[in-house]
Chains A and B, each alone.
Chain A
Amino acid sequence: MIVFTCCDTFDDMMTCIYDAWAARLGHSNIRLQTEPIGNFELFCEYLHIDADKEKVKKVIRSIQNKICPQAFYDVYTASLSYESNKLDIIYRFLIVGFLYQKQVTQMLGNPAVATLFELKRKVTNEAHQFREFVRFSRLNENILLSVIEPKCNVLTLLAPHFENRMPSENWMIIDKNRMIALIHPWDQKSFLCPLTKEELSFLENSRQNTDLYSELWKTFFHSVAIKERKNAKCQRNLMPLWFRKNMTEFQ
């Protein structure tokens, strides 16, 4: 068994798929995995792949043209997942995809397609939850700051929503696990930017953690619940505990 490995970015993954495909070793003889790799297996050869712009373009073009744009969107979304076998799932999906072309997105009965569909759904669901549970606080009069710790890399999925929601505000969302910031200057397009530890701690220290409106929100949050209908299980179901770390009403 030969295992192709690469870093956890979209470009690296696409290049990895290209090289694995081009190696012509037979689909059943290879596996793809993202780094870091926890346990190395015996009788496996590990090959590290680095990103190559040309190969990335080729892979994206052929997915869009030979399968369909929807399939590319699904692959992209799935690649944002935190699971380490996502790349292999994408690879298996593409094998079926290049065989059946456009209709592959409808072939939910096929195990490879169904697994990718499930993975994609997990990512979009988490992105949707963060659309709901992101909480901004004031860095100063003009800048809104939010820090989140998502499992999947959801920032690119959040960007269009918040850009549309607050086009004329300065805001940034920070992914603390990956140390990336999504920055949106007012009336402009948002962009991603890597962050250092010092920058993050500076931002976290300088934001206003308690002010009038966060107090008002906590008051509202507690007074709007009907105590005769108290149902903590339902609440946990809809808003799991791990989201609450960075939410104003639970601080």
Chain B
Amino acid sequence: MNIQTSFTINQKLEILSDAAKYDVACTSSGADRRGVKGHLGNSCASGICHSFAADGRCISLLKVLFSNECIYDCKYCLNRRSNDRVRTTFTPEELCSITVEFYKRNYIEGLFLSSGVIKSPDFTMELIYQTLYLLRNKYHFRGYIHAKAVPGAHPDLIQKTGYLADRMSVNIELPTKEGLAALAPGKTHDKILQPMSQIQQNIAASRLALGKSSSFERHHGNRYLPNSIFSNDRQKQLNASASSLAVQTASPLSAYSSSAPSFVPAGQSTQMIIGAASENDYELLKVTQTLYQKFDLKRVFFSAYIPLNEDSLLPSPDTPPPLLREHRLYQADWLLRYYGFHAEELLSPEKPNFNLLLDPKCEWALRHLGQFPIEVTTASYSQLLKVPGIGNKSALRIIQARKNSTLDFSILKRLGLVLKRAQYFITCHGKMLYSMPIEENFITRQLTAEQKETSWKLEHPQTYQQISLFDDHFLDVPPTVEDKCKSILGQF
């Protein structure tokens, strides 16, 4: 065997970014920080994508593993201990110089640092902390940093890292305990949730010390939604539990002043794999909602499972990744965070999966046709949001525009409504766009007719075949009763 001990920096980057690519989170959003003279970088709350890879996913951070060595043996993971792979590790200095130079050339918004577990969780977390410390203090880097919290690492290490990072994340990977036990033998739910709740408490405490509310501000539209998953009663609970902590943790810092360092200002996120175990959409969405409510997560990401390893417990290696299912889950995730829906409204134990041909909001609307049509000239913001084809931007524009002028369908179109979908569910001054029955079967047919082709293409990439003159489809005429009689009687 040829053992190569030293790699060039280019080879290292290739190996370690290739190993990190299955992590979905590549957002640079959530934190606003102005640039300062003598330092490098700022951070934009909206996030900036700098490029788009061949798979259409945005590249906004330098997404790498610190090391692809790992002591765990998770079935779904490419870097599991039992896989025979080239292993390598960055040094903190190398990572810092790449990050800073990439940042200056406007290639990236910052660093996403994850790692396989080398030796022990503590050792790995310490290395991540050292890298961030160098980047922030030696290189004066003020850009975005997303760091992984390694489950099982000492709480002090996680806390120290949190003051340097903008976002931290712990991946749940599988929503059910059984799934996790089967596919990730080294991990347990409690071990994953422990750092998550620690980060949440530290965030709440640091926010209170800075004079903000303990839980994150959500999209401003949520204020006008009476019954969203972020409604008030939850925040009171959080405030109570965090305020006691705030007193403990904030006291060594300059208490209650805006100069106190903020802990993970862009919040934490997590990720779940879709399609590796047998969980359904209802379970996934319920877990997502619980994470938003209990742990105040900023984002939950979904990752369509791509078969990398062969194992009897995993789907076979030729299964295509469930991309459309992932897309539907993201749509539902948006409905939870921006549209005031609850997981229980969208799905139920009796109907646990989304329809792949219709988006979740259309599906919901078709099951609740009694609430439609909605009159756009008088409907409230929360009512407008329930209409398929109206998003929060167009809903706000409708409300703005109707103050000063009378609406009609041509104006609605100009405001950015997707009339293709919305036309079945709205009236304007008591009239629909065309006279149409508000009937479930009719609307379903209309909505799916256009989407069928695209969803088929997504689900079945390249299943076409060349038409030929000599195709024998439909030419095998089945034997008729007469033929059978003849064959029995031998009349050929």
B38 within 8 A of A: yes
A residues 205-230 touching B (CB-CB < 8 Å): 212-217, 219-230
B39 within 8 A of A: yes
A38 within 8 A of B: no
Q: Determine whether the beta carbon of B10 is less than 8 Å from that of A239.
A: no
A167 within 8 A of B: yes
A182 within 8 A of B: no
B residues 402-418 touching A (CB-CB < 8 Å): 402-407, 411, 414-415
What CA separation (Å) do A164 and B42 show in the bound complex? 7
Q: Determine whether the beta carbon of A107 is less than 8 Å from that of B53.
A: no
Q: Determine whether the beta carbon of A226 is less than 8 Å from that of B17.
A: no
Give the Cβ gap from A251 to chain B, nearest Cβ, in Å: 13
B473 within 8 A of A: no
Residues of A within 8 A of B323 (CB): 229
Residues of A within 8 A of B9 (CB): 212, 216
A83 within 8 A of B: no
Give the Cβ gap from A94 to chain B, nearest Cβ, in Å: 17
Q: Determine whether the beta carbon of B36 is less than 8 Å from that of A167.
A: yes
What is the count of residue pairs linking A and B with beta-carbon distances less than 8 angstroms? 161
Q: Determine whether the beta carbon of B98 is less than 8 Å from that of A216.
A: yes
B18 within 8 A of A: yes
Q: Determine whether the beta carbon of B414 is less than 8 Å from that of A230.
A: no
Q: Determine whether the beta carbon of A103 is less than 8 Å from that of B39.
A: no
Given the contacts A217-B102, A220-B62, A231 and B35 also touching, CB distance less than 8 Å: no
Give the Cβ gap from B16 to chain A, nearest Cβ, in Å: 9
Give the Cβ gap from B148 to chain A, nearest Cβ, in Å: 17
Closest residue of chain B to A234, judged by CB? Answer: B56
Give the Cβ gap from B473 to chain A, nearest Cβ, in Å: 30
Residues of B within 8 A of A134 (CB): 106
Closest residue of chain A to B59, judged by CB? Answer: A224
> Looking at the complex, which one of A132, A136, A219, A235 makes contact with B14 (CB distance below 8 Å)?
A219
Given the contacts A107-B401, A248-B105, A238 and B52 also touching, CB distance less than 8 Å: yes
What CA separation (Å) do A177 and B144 show in the bound complex? 33
Q: Determine whether the beta carbon of A106 is less than 8 Å from that of B58.
A: no
Given the contacts A219-B13, A229-B55, A114 and B414 also touching, CB distance less than 8 Å: yes
Given the contacts A109-B404, A109-B411, A217-B105, A229 and B17 also touching, CB distance less than 8 Å: no
Give the Cβ gap from A243 to chain B, nearest Cβ, in Å: 10
Given the contacts A167-B35, A216-B13, A228-B321, A136 and B105 also touching, CB distance less than 8 Å: yes
Q: Determine whether the beta carbon of B55 is less than 8 Å from that of A225.
A: yes
Closest 3 CB pairs of A and B: A234-B56, A109-B405, A225-B53
Binding site for A on B (CB under 8 A): 9-10, 13-14, 17-18, 20-22, 34-42, 48-59, 62-63, 98, 101-102, 104-107, 304, 306, 320-321, 323, 397, 400-407, 411, 414-415
Binding site for B on A (CB under 8 A): 100, 103, 106-110, 114, 118, 131-137, 144, 146, 163-169, 187, 212-217, 219-235, 237-239, 247-249
Q: Can you name 24 A-B pairs with beta carbons within 8 Å? A: A109-B404, A109-B405, A114-B411, A132-B48, A163-B35, A166-B35, A166-B41, A166-B104, A167-B36, A169-B40, A214-B105, A216-B10, A220-B62, A222-B54, A223-B13, A223-B17, A224-B53, A225-B21, A226-B55, A229-B306, A230-B55, A235-B52, A239-B51, A248-B107
